[in-house]
Amino acid sequence: MMFPRLPYGEETLATLGFAGTPPLRIIDSVEKSIVNRATGTHSSQPQRVVQGYRIDGQDIEMDFKELRQAVEEVELVDGHAHNIVALDSTCPFISCFSEAQGEALSYAPHSFSFKRSLKEIAELYGSEKTLHAVEQHRKISGLQSISSACFKAAKFSAILIDDGMELDKSYGIEWLKSFAPVVGRILRIERLAEKILDQDLPGGSSWTLDVFTKAFVGELNSYPFPCIAAYRTGLQINTKVSKKDAEEGLAEVLQDGKPIRLTNKSFIDYLFTCSLELAVRYDLPVQIHTGFGDKYLDLRLCNPLHLRAVLEDKRFSKCRIVLLHASYPFSKEASYLASVYSQVFLDFGLAVPKLSVHGMISSVKELLELASTKKVMFSTDGYAHPETFYLGAKKAREVVFSVLRDACVDGDLSIVEAIEAAKDIFSRNAIQFYKIKLPISSVGLANGPISVKMRANAHTDVALVRVIWVDGSGQHRCRVVPAARFDKAVVKSGLGLTFATMAMTSFADAPADETNLTGVGEIRLMPDLSTRKRIPWRTQEDMVFADMYVRPGELWEYCPRGALQRVSKVLKEEFNLVMNAGFENEFFLLKSVLREGKEEWVPFDATPYCSTLAYDATSPIFHEVAAALESLNITLEQLHAESGKGQYELVLGYTACTHSADNLIYAREVIKAVARKHGLLASFMPKYALDDIGSGSHVHLSLNQDGKNVFMGSAGHGMSKVGQEFMAGVLHHLPSILAFIAPIPNSYDRIQPNTWSGAYQCWGRENKEAPLRAACPPGIPDGYVSNFEIKSFDGCANPHLGLAAILAAGIDGLRKHRSLPEPVDTNPSSLGSEIPRLPTSLSESLAALQEDSVLTDIIGEKLLVAIKGIRKAEIDYYSKHKDAYKQLIYRY
């Protein structure tokens, strides 16, 4: 993002009509005329903006190049934004440009904000500068692509999301985690209260203030949020509202019926005061909606000066409060409050970018008239459409540059002080205020240990880009292209790929029979830019996942990532649920030895489970693995030696299943690459040695709704009703799911009784011999289950296909309200024929899949035909070549 710069001297100023004007006013006026045309046609020249003028009797010579660079390069912390919606949402794209609704929105195209912002979006997309052209580009490119473009241009290091705004077909917070290292949640207190009151109490009892307060406080305590927000109070808050008035207010709210909408002032004041008390107790910041932004609020009551009763209340003197929306049109009043109350901070989101250029600059200047630069913060107030995030970031950089540059010209700040102020406003103030912990990035050195440094994801010096996909047999494959070609051509048009690639097996690079896929026909590999990462173990290389498209905007039915996205969308749209997943990765580290002149790969060591000696020997390797994962923004929870010879386990953090599958693939790439650098071979194959234990890729699963784990509950077995039904569906379909998560004959050498691999069709609480283990980790209330583990998943499975199959089974459980049988609390092998065995071979699991019409219907018939064809070929080949499994260490 560049700002126009013009050299000007006395003749230029005279030409512009400023002859005889005092020098300070000349500089101020000309600078404003330039910046207010920041999107004009003037070219940028590396010349000084202000030269040879005297202020207070001293010569000044200013160059704003360093300030401009600091403003352009700082990574932004977006302190307040909202969810993004699907392209087919009823939320119109034109709402990007205005806070208006209904008929009033029809006038938006004639506003300054619309005309300016539409041009900027069109320039970003390279489309014609018309609303129709931009909307067509959005439709053809798809949400993932336009989001990648917007967030990449904006450069966020963290985003805080207020998900209390009701938006049609909105994506959860997890969806945004592809676009920023940190995504946190802001809890809107009024929306939380409404959700609580919309619920029926057990036994038909009625809500009372005491019962509500207990539930409200309990919910606040259960959410992992960095901030709470208050919207509908108006600002004349009575912090001494009586319990009687609050009780009567609650009764009035309930009388209006469901769905609940809070309108009674006494009850809202009580709610707000209660929240402030909790915020003080737990040291949580509070965001307060001030000024414009909600047509239902009386703007006269949104003047922040009304907050003085709250600010003067000694109970809340230590409560950190940020006033949103620049308090526009009361920016001066907000500035005054921030200057005299230590607990008051300011945020200029929404005012920037919704106002005219003059309005934006004026508002930010007014905020800084009295307030410290340590108290003013940035946010986009982006919502619904990714373009709102981009516009908020772009205009904020331009406006803050203009304001700080003028402060330098006016003599308020030096260039150095202005640079520090920019960093404070855009990032450091919010990091401190919200106590955000940003991850440390890292850049790998090809010939040395991976070291921790900042800005791992800067792509400016990249020479090559690996475009990665995982096929139907679970093998990682890639095409590599020069970075310049990737950015210029591949991002827009993708790479051609034959149909046959999704029909290849673990033993041959040729399409299997009965897959309906051959070498005839081609799809496009389109990079998902939200997954583009700097490769930690190679200099000047990036990697990125690709989706498979038939044509722009139309995913190929055989695309594994597309299948998981499609089934995840069904779970979200039908049940408002998101499945979270976290993988345990077991693998062998093998070293090369020569035996009779032939190379063999043997275990790195022979140490026992969790051996300190084993870890000490491999510590240099795992230090590099940990640093690499951190640079990729992948959470590493723990690692240790496993029971097999040379076997280790590495546990990844929980996240939405679509991201978790991507993280698993990147983690495997990291482990293999770092091991290779140390002269070792890392293998994830299920049964490396038939006389030793096997390796799994156990997956832990839970269900989230609006950011909260809803798998656990008190409906039975420590689970909620939806948790039980979902898990019951998975248990019912587990024999056919094995064809996805245990995809080769070698997988069934691992799934044996008495090996903690889950050989029987049952579930149990903390039962290591059950394939579905209900987990009760530390920190979970006694008797509750937070998630369940599937032990059958192994390292040869394509994680996107495996999770899609599990999701499809869970959806069937929810649709049919399936019930769980009683848990097995002993070794199932001791129960004889009471508990059925899971398939003992790939042939048996394939037979179960052939009969399972549910998975076919939900995942898609064409993809299932291809998977069945691949599995048949695997069965046939390995039955005829008994030792061929030994070659799998090179493929998995």
- Cα–Cα distance measured from residue 248 to residue 76, given in angstroms and rounded to the nearest whole number: 45
Helix residue ranges, H only, 142-264: 143-154, 173-176, 189-197, 209-222, 243-255
Print the SS3 string covering 689-706.
Answer: CCCCCCCCCCEEEEEEEC
CB–CB of 562/555 below 8 Å?
yes
Say which amino acid occupies 701. L
CB–CB of 480/465 below 8 Å?
yes
Evaluate the omega torsion of the peptide bond into residue 92 and state whether it is cis, within 30 degrees of 0. no
- Cα–Cα distance measured from residue 269 to residue 235, given in angstroms and rounded to the nearest whole number: 10
Q: Is the pTM of this model over 0.85?
A: no
- Cα–Cα distance measured from residue 601 to residue 676, given in angstroms and rounded to the nearest whole number: 13
CB–CB of 555/663 below 8 Å?
no
Residue numbers of the chain with a pLDDT score lower than 70? 1-62, 221-233, 294-297, 439-460
Cβ neighbourhood burial of 245 (10 Å; 0-12, 13-18, 19+): middle
pLDDT at residue 176 in the model: 86
pLDDT at residue 449 in the model: 41
SS3 assignment, position 658: helix
What tens digit of pLDDT does each residue of 384-406 get? 999 999 999 999 999 999 999 99
Closest alpha carbon to 662 in 677, 652, 672: 652
DSSP letter for 488, please.
I
Q: Is residue 631 within a helix (H) or strand (E), and if so which, with residue range?
A: helix 612-631
Closest alpha carbon to 154 in 464, 452, 460, 388: 388
For the chain, which domains are there?
A: 10-63 (no CATH), 73-434 (3.20.20.140), 451-556 (3.10.20.70)
- Cα–Cα distance measured from residue 346 to residue 373, given in angstroms and rounded to the nearest whole number: 10
